[in-house]
Each structure stands twice: as C-alpha cells, then as structure tokens.
Structure 1
C-alpha cells in the first residue's frame, strides 16, 4: 500500500436502492407472418422487439389473411387499434421449409396483373409468355409488388411484355397449412441447439432486458397442448420471472360447452386467462385474446404501468361478438356471469358499449385463493416479484452481513410504502424473520425475506340493499297535519 498523508474520501453503496421496475404487460406473440414481404429477409424463430406498426410490417410483412398469418392480426390490433408498444413477435413460418409450388395464368390490364396467391417468395418467381416460349426478366421486363391482402402484382416495364397479353407465373409460396401445434410449442433443435417456438420466451430478457408479461398465440392457443405449454412458460420464465398467458377457447362451441372444454383439457392454471368468443370490428375478426392484450396494455398505461386494475368492464375495440363461422352472438349479463364463474373472460355489450367482462384467471373455480384467481391480483404478485428480482439481482454474492440485509429490507419497504401511498396496494412490507433463516441456510449462503403484500381485489359485485322505510310516511303525515 502506498504511503498516505492527508484527508481522503471513500464511497460505499447507497443503503436504499431505487427499484428497477419490471415491464408489466410486455406481450410476446408466437405465430405466423408473411415474411416473404419482409424488407431485409425472413425472421424465423427469432424474437424481434417491435415499437411501431411500420417496423412490424418492415420486418415481418403484412397480410389481411389473418387465418394464415396470425401475427398480422395482433400487429393490427395492438398498434392500429390500441396504439400500444412495444411487443415481441416470434414467427415460426419458415420460407425454406413450409412452402408449396404453384403456377397461375394472369392477364395484363394496363400493364399490371394480379397473382391471387398470398405468401409468394419473390426470388422464386418465374414469369413467361402464355406458351412458355419467352422468359421475362425481373427489373428489366417487369416489377413485383404486394397488395394489402398479401397477393402479388406483376407490372410490365418494357415492351417485351405486350399489354393485355396473358402471362404464366410459376412460384414457390409460403404454406401456413404446414404449421402444426408442434411448431408453435417448439423446443430445442437437436442439430443446432437453437431454441424454437415457445422455448424462445426464455431468450426475451437476455436479448432485450425486458421481462415478458403476456404470452399469446392467436388461433393456436385453443389447442390444449399449446395452452398447457404457454401456462408452463409464463409460470417460470428464465427460472425466476413470472407472467401470464392468454388463451382462447374454441369459438365453434356454444357458451354452455366452454366450461366443459376448459375442465376436460385442464385449462386451470393461475398463469392463464381463458377467453371466449371472438370479436369483430367492421369486416375484421379478432381473437378475444388479441384484444384483451390491448385492453390490458391500455389499462396499465393509465396507471403508470402498475397492473393493479382489472381489464374487466373496459372497452374493447369491436362492434360485435362472433362465433367461428361469423355468426353474431349477444350474451346477457346472466350468461356472461356464468362464464365468469367458470374462470372465463368474455365480451359483453350491456352498458357503455362492448367491454371485456371477467376478472378471473383460469384457476377459478378450482381454487379460490385471490392471489391465484383475480387477474389484477395475480399480475401484481408477478410484477412485484419480478421487480424485486431485478432490483436486488446485483446483490447476489455480496458479503452476507447486516448491511446487505438492511439494504434489501429498507429498499423494498420504501418502495412498497410508495405503492401503498398511491393505493396500488392496500399495504405491504418485507421482513427478515429468524424462524425462516435457520443457521444451516445462512451458513450455506441462503437468505430468505418474507414479503407481505395485499393488492386490491376488483369490486366484482356492488350491492344496494333496498328497504321501505315507514318513518318517512310518518314524517309526511306529521308535516301535513299541522
């Protein structure tokens, strides 16, 4: 050590640490996209953090054919209708694997012809004369562009292709019908070790430093196996974080059949929210899970990203509820409440327009514990848990001494007191209890902190007790008798 003579200063870590707050409702959406239209090549089984509609279209393409390209439904709903961001998109449709060959004849009208097929891969297109004797060249004889629907246009730019002539177009096109539930579930590629499908949920935080809040797979989540894996992933993200999955019950069933489907297929997780039926706005039909994610995001944003308020009784962006075939349905409060009592969220048009109706996770009525069955209470437990992990992760492997324990306790209590003051929770505290920290655990480097929290339950029922009060009659008589 060097010789010192004088006054010196030294710094120690601040005893109270400001919280590193978790993203409450970051949606992670797995599905299929028209990546043939992407500007910089196809993203396949690669999570992408998206902040704008334009960015989504640039990286994944866009088509109005939502049955084939399920990510487009979510992109349109979340960005155009609810104006929420960001979102993580994962496409599993592979242009090198899930393809089909096709040939179509088309007639040029004013130098343009439409090939009525979605998902065409531009690099595979061969345009010839009708009899096949002449092969035309891209960017010399013709240009390729795509329509909003996802179909392709051929535009002649040279006299080599006569106007009003017929052409033959041969191509490879994306074939979403080859996608199965196994592609959505994913796993680990045995040859490359690469994560696929839902397994990529565990890459979100390492990639983007954001904790997944909601996991969705529109169209696919009504598959019981997909729903089960979504619940498992949401319950245990990276082995430490927690989120929620939003699944759809089949919209081809009557409302009385949905509870049986839910129970038969074991859709009873506390990390699940079950939705039924679909909703529509104009000509576009949405899975209710898609719009529920938008309502959750909008509600959280109004509360400084604290997920303490239920999405129930909040407006959807729809003008009807529909079954799979497009048949409109109108549930009354009794029918909607029946579904709610079975742990199913639905859409209700009663007072104030079309709204989300239901506070319960899929765990209800199998369990009545409010931390597992009320959507906002479950989400608050997740959010507080995730925030505590993010805030105090840097203290892992610090010396196990009084300063460490007091820093964790004081910081957490200060934060919880702030949540209570804002009425985001009814109360909360963190304590280091002797009975929960035996000598053997402390010797082995294990510390346990007990977190007491009480998020407010949603006021799902408000009763007015009516009584005829005869005293007012007596008072009336007395006032008139004078």
Structure 2
C-alpha cells in the first residue's frame, strides 16, 4: 500500500439522480415519399430519418401534394406546417427500383402494399415497422407515437403497429394512432362494428374517424391528432398528462368518403363511448373529441382506457428505465436502493405539487424482494401513482329554493 501523508479528497456518486429528459410524443411515421427524382445513392428507403423542419424533410425525401401516393408528405405538412411540432422520425418504404409498373424505368408508388409497411427481416435487415427498434439506437430518442396515415386503416397494419408499441428495444412502450377508412365505413353508426369485428381493441391504440379537411387539403385524422398531442405535450412541459380532447384541430369540415358530414354532440359521444376519437364543431370551432383508447368499453381500467393516463404510464416507465440504466450492475447496497427511492420520490412529489399527479410514491417492499431474487441480483421497486382523469363530464344540479321568497319582504 502506498504511504500517504497529506490532505486528500475523493468523490462519491450523487445520492439524488435527475431524470433523463425524453420527448413524450415523438412520432415515428411510416409511408411513402417522392424520392424518384433523387440520385440512387441519396434515396432514403427503409431507413429512419430524423427531421426537425420542413426543409429537412424536403431535402431528405422531396415533396408532393399528391398525398394518396406520397403519404409522408401529408404528415410533414401537418406536423411542420400546421402544428409546428418537431422532431419527427420518417421512414419511407417506397423503393422506385422495386415498386414499378411493367417497365422498370417507370416507378409506381401505388405498387407499395400493406406488407411493405408491416415489413419484416429481409436478408438480415429490418424493413417497415421492424425499424421502430432502430430509432433509439440511431437518435437516442424514444418513439412516442407510431403513425402510418393512409395505411393504418388496413386492420392488419393497425394490429402490427399496436404490437410494435410494446417492448421497443425490449424496454420501452408508446402508443399508436390509426384511422378507420371513411371509404370502407362512411356512416358513423357502422364504425364501432368495424372496430370490434377487426379486433381494433388494443390499450395502446387510438382509433380515429373520419377525415378532416382544411381548405383544399384533406388529412387523415390520425395525422392531425398526432400533431395535436405533440402540441399539447409541448405546452405541458413535455409531460403527457393532458388529453387531446376538446382542443382545436386545423380543419373547416369533417369528411367521410367524398362528402362533408355533420355530427352533433349525441353522435360524437356515441363514438366516444365505443373507444373512438372523432371531431366536433360545437363551441369554439372544430376540436378533437374523445378521451378513450381502443380497449374501451370492454376495458375500463383508467390506466388502459384513458388516453392521457395510458400515455403517462408509458412515459413514466420509459423515463425510469433511461434514468436508472446507469445504475445497472452496481453492487446491491442500501445506498443504491435509497438513491433510487429518494430520487423517484422527489420527482413524484414535484409532479404532485404541479398537479400532474394527484399523488405518487415508490417503495422497496420486502415481500416483493425474496432473498433468492436478491442473491440473483434482482431488485424490485413498486411505484404507486395516480394521474388525474380528464373531466369528461361536468354536472351542475339546479334546484328551485322557495326560501328565497322571503327576500320579497326584506
């Protein structure tokens, strides 16, 4: 041992850890883009591309107003041009060299199919929805909302999207937004049956109907809802605890098929009661209308059935993972356990003070940590938290009180 004579200092890890900040509502969007005019070596095909601005999107993919052929352009227009929310991860599955009509020298984006969006593993490389797992390794950003406007109205695509919201990189969780096709289901009364018949009932799934129109532009409602959710998150400290319902959309009419439709409060509430988000023009202009995920009404657990509570649980879980990943493989000591407990309780108390939570706490319970688990290097914490439910009903009881007639004689 080295002989020492003097004054020395050493450092120990901070006992309180600040949380890692993550963006709650980052969309990961799958679709097609007009890349035919680009040099072959510059084409982004089945490759996640992070864009913060409209110009970055155009440089990466080009732009076209033909949104039926090039669905990513619709999302870029809404996200950057209307809601002003960034960033977005875009994934184009259209390959002009593969998706052709007859002569290989005349590319045809209409040859892209739902199977291209769903994707898989081709020659050892992920394609389509499998690329969700590339987002965090590539950009250190956790997916917040999985989108595929123009494609998610295929139930097979929607179910595959819902499956990809869980176990992202084996760790993370998010939600997805989808549409029910107004061409297939033009009447609002038929929408719930289509939803149930096609098993569109996942807790991480947000189902939208109909389309929305602004001037000459028609958007899938899932496109605008994703922008609205990101906008509300931005106004809420990047914490997804508020519902997008009763907030303004950029639209001047609702569209089913080629026709404008008008839905009253009774009709939109019928859709809400079946776990479907829609649009309402009632007081204050056109607004998103609905708080429920697709699992409602068969599942009524607030953690699963309310959009903001479902999203908060996923966000809180993702934040916990990214914050304490740095503590993996440390020796299991009382100091390690107390560091996690203290750090989390400080954060939860802060949420309670800001009324983001009604209450919350984390505990390390002896009966949930058997000796055999501790011997195997396993620590189990238990977090109790209660995000506020959206006030979907406000009721005021009016009663005639005859005692005030005495005021006539004052």
Relative to the length of structure 1, the TM-score reads 0.83
Give the alignment partner of residue 127 of structure 2, picking from 190, 193, 196: 196
Q: Is the 8 A contact 1:34 1:174 kept in 2?
A: no
What is the distance in 2 between the residues matched to 1:37 and 1:78? 24
Q: Give the root-mean-square deviation of aligned CA atoms.
A: 1.2
Which residue does the alignment assign to 2:72?
Answer: 71
Q: Does 1:302 align with 2:235?
A: yes
Which residue does the alignment assign to 2:357?
Answer: 425
Q: How far off its partner does 1:24 sit?
A: 0.4
What is the distance in 2 between the residues matched to 1:236 and 1:462? 37
Larger proportion of strand: 1
Matches within 5 A, 1:61-460: 61-100=62-101, 172-189=105-122, 191=123, 193-252=124-183, 253=185, 254-324=187-257, 326-460=258-392
Relative to the length of structure 2, the TM-score reads 0.97
| SS, match of residue 235 in structure 1 | coil
What is the distance in 1 between the residues matched to 2:230 and 2:107? 32
What is the distance in 2 between the residues matched to 1:37 and 1:17? 49
Aligned residues: 407
- Listed one character per residue, the Cα deviations across residues 231-276 of structure 1 (whole Å, up to 9, x for unaligned) are 1111221111110000101112210111001101111111100000
Q: How far off its partner does 1:7 sit?
A: 1.5
Q: How far off its partner does 1:5 sit?
A: 1.6
Q: Which runs of 4+ in 1 moved over 4 A?
A: none
- Listed one character per residue, the Cα deviations across residues 421-447 of structure 1 (whole Å, up to 9, x for unaligned) are 111111111100001001111111110
What is the distance in 2 between the residues matched to 1:303 and 1:80? 21
| SS, match of residue 266 in structure 2 | helix
What is the distance in 1 between the residues matched to 2:369 and 2:301? 26
Q: Does 1:11 align with 2:11?
A: yes
- Listed one character per residue, the Cα deviations across residues 167-204 of structure 1 (whole Å, up to 9, x for unaligned) are xxxx9333122111110000111x2x111000000110
Q: How far off its partner does 1:227 sit?
A: 0.7
What is the distance in 2 between the residues matched to 1:378 and 1:38? 41
Q: How far off its partner does 1:206 sit?
A: 0.6
- Listed one character per residue, the Cα deviations across residues 36-70 of structure 1 (whole Å, up to 9, x for unaligned) are 24477210000000000000011011100000000
Q: Is the 8 A contact 1:185 1:197 kept in 2?
A: yes
What is the distance in 1 between the residues matched to 2:197 and 2:376? 44
Gaps of 5+ in 2: none
| SS, match of residue 290 in structure 1 | helix
| SS, match of residue 247 in structure 1 | strand
What is the distance in 2 between the residues matched to 1:2 and 1:186? 61
| SS, match of residue 4 in structure 1 | coil
